[in-house]
A and B are shown apart, each in its own frame.
Chain A
Amino acid sequence: MFARRRPLWKRLLRWIIYAAVLAFFLFPIFWIFMTSIKSASEYMHSPPIWFPAAPDLSSFRRAVEVGGLDAMRNSIIVSSVSTLLALLVGSFAAYGLARYEVGGENLPFFFLSQRFLPPVVVIFPFLLMFKTLRWIDTYQALIVVYLTFNLPYTIWMMRSFFKEIPREIEESALVDGASAVGAFWHVALPLAVPGLIATGIFCFIFSWSEFFFGLTLTNIRATPLSVFLPGLFGKQMIMWGEVGALSVMAVVPLFVLSFLVQRFLVRGLTMGAVK
């Protein structure tokens, strides 16, 4: 599109529309932050109060007291390890797919299709399998289970990143005597670091936000943040303030990460369909 001079009323209209749309999309986020700093009498108030009289951080304190930080720690551990594992194993496979065209055209799409698996399909077998392995309510259970998404996703993304690296560099390494795996590890992977970062962040975001498996496979020891939050809705109480505080704790890390990966955002979201 090309810019052109517009009459004033059109420019004004434009700003109004911008404001309205952005207001709609940012309002709930604003509400989360406000709720987390309101006092109890303010967040249970009708009609609702928009701005607290004085910011009150006691919700955060209480959220931590009931174990919010532990849940956050669990989320960090499980998300990070699952992401790293996926990146390692996945980029390894992606390299094979990109460079050697292993499995022709079908194997990549086979991997990709796994990303769309509904969690409900595998939860019942997982319950039984993990019971046998005594893995219920452990980190490893979640880490492995998150691979159902992270691995196919990583393979798919890294494959397209690898394809963008010119072959010449690896070929010269091979000519110099490097093994195929060596070429991958010492040449291709370092060059694909931006792709690794982008893919890794998306895997982390998925793992962090994941709810269903966390809900069904954990009890007390490995509860992630996403499952801890609903725990604040008791039979005789909904602790909205703590919910607000935990929500803030849950979204801020992702906000930060997403800024870091803006460049690759669209590619990551559409799995490379749009670059």
Chain B
Amino acid sequence: MVAPCLRHQVGRHHQKALWCCVATSTAQERTGRIGGRWTPWLFVAPSLAIVVAVTIFPTLYSLYLSFFRWEPTLADKPFIGFGNYQELFSTGRFVNALAVTALITIVGVALELAVGFWFADFVLADRRGQRLVVALMLLPVMVMPVVVGYTWRLLWDAAYGPINQILGWILLRPVEYTWLGQTSTALLAIIVTEVWQWTPFMFLILYAGMSTLDGEIYEAAEIDGAGTWQQFWRMTVPLMLPIVIVAVLIRAVDSIKMFDVIYTLTGGAPGTSTETASYYIYQVGYQFFRLGYGAAASIVLLLILSVLLTFLLRALRSRMA
């Protein structure tokens, strides 16, 4: 097997390229390869090296940093144990940032899923013009998040933005509300902006998945007297569930990392009420140059993300199998 070889190698050589008793590996037998014993690992070695250098090592370094007070304007950089972590949870600002992140993620992804699902179903009901619709729905996903943020900031503007203008037409009286000026509506604005950009993502995935569904089972259900609603809930949803789970988890993980839109749309204001975790870390860790503290906060974020990630990977795994 592969594993015993590696254990042996690491102990002796401290190398990443490992020669292995490939002759006894089932993979080898399966593919009928003969190339050198080390060949399979040669393929993976450069990537593994890069990943370790660029991801694993910095993450561990971050962990290491998180136990220090590291600021350029201070003379020494002392070891402070869990001091940074204590500070993280003592002020409530970081916890608030996590809460904001969770809120935007949960509400945003739920809306994206609902709207995406509904629209995919809607489009598939009658296939005319579908290519055009798909092509157009692609565009929001392709817009740079920074551009999305600034564009929506202009749209939400109380005086210069068309949203108030359009609302005014609908309500038949002038609307001059400052959407980004109140926490509640600022969060709403952020969610709408995110939903705008990522619903097409959901739509495209679900559309692709649903278009492979066999029309015959629906015909059969129709004949049996099932209405559209029943068809949807009892047939479409269960069949699409694996894909939905993957899509939702991808979106959730990406949403938790959210930074660009907050930076451009609200800057965390009013006060600090619309800060997300990443934005808070950026402000305190980078803008104020508190590297140790920032590292600690990011480790906490990573831990939270890892939990979510485990579910995602399991779902992907079962889907891949």
Chain A residues within CB distance 8 Å of chain B: 1-3, 6, 14, 17-18, 21-22, 24-26, 28-29, 31-32, 35, 43-48, 50, 89-90, 92-93, 95-97, 99-105, 107, 109, 111-114, 116-129, 144-145, 147-148, 151-152, 155, 167, 171, 174, 179-181, 184, 205, 208-209, 211-212, 216, 225-226, 229-230, 240, 243, 247, 250-251, 254-255, 257-259, 262, 265-266, 269-274
Contact partner, B205, options A205, A254, A257, A274, Cβ 8 Å: A274
Beyond A216-B286, A251-B142, 4 additional contacts (C-beta under 8 Å) are A1-B215, A22-B133, A25-B199, A93-B47
| CB of B266, distance to nearest CB on chain A (Å) | 13
Smallest CB gap from A14: residue in B: B126
User: Is B196 in contact with A124, judged by CB distance below 8 angstroms?
Assistant: no
User: Is B205 in contact with A32, judged by CB distance below 8 angstroms?
Assistant: no
Mark out the residues of chain B between 72 and 88 whose CB falls within 8 Å of any chain A CB in the assembled complex. Answer: none
Instruction: Please indicate the chain B residues that have their CB under 8 angstroms from the CB of A181 in the complex.
Output: 35, 39, 42-43
User: Is B54 in contact with A121, judged by CB distance below 8 angstroms?
Assistant: no
CB of B33 closer than 8 Å to a CB of A: yes
In the complex the two chains form, what is the Cα distance from A248 to B162 in whole Å?
19
Q: Mark B163-193, 1 if CB is under 8 A from A, else 0.
A: 0010010000000000000000000000000
User: Is B43 in contact with A102, judged by CB distance below 8 angstroms?
Assistant: yes
> Do A48 and B162 form a contact, CB below 8 Å, given A101-B27, A125-B58?
yes
User: Is A95 in contact with B43, judged by CB distance below 8 angstroms?
Assistant: yes
| CB of B69, distance to nearest CB on chain A (Å) | 13
In the complex the two chains form, what is the Cα distance from A255 to B208 in whole Å?
20
Per DSSP, chain A at the interface is helix
> Do A96 and B43 form a contact, CB below 8 Å, given A120-B281, A174-B33?
yes
User: Is A1 in contact with B140, judged by CB distance below 8 angstroms?
Assistant: no
Smallest CB gap from B140: residue in A: A25
User: Is B155 in contact with A28, judged by CB distance below 8 angstroms?
Assistant: yes
User: Is A269 in contact with B286, judged by CB distance below 8 angstroms?
Assistant: no
User: Is B278 in contact with A35, judged by CB distance below 8 angstroms?
Assistant: no
Instruction: Please indicate the chain B residues that have their CB under 8 angstroms from the CB of A250 in the complex.
Output: 144, 146-147
Instruction: Please indicate the chain B residues that have their CB under 8 angstroms from the CB of A101 in the complex.
Output: 27, 30-31
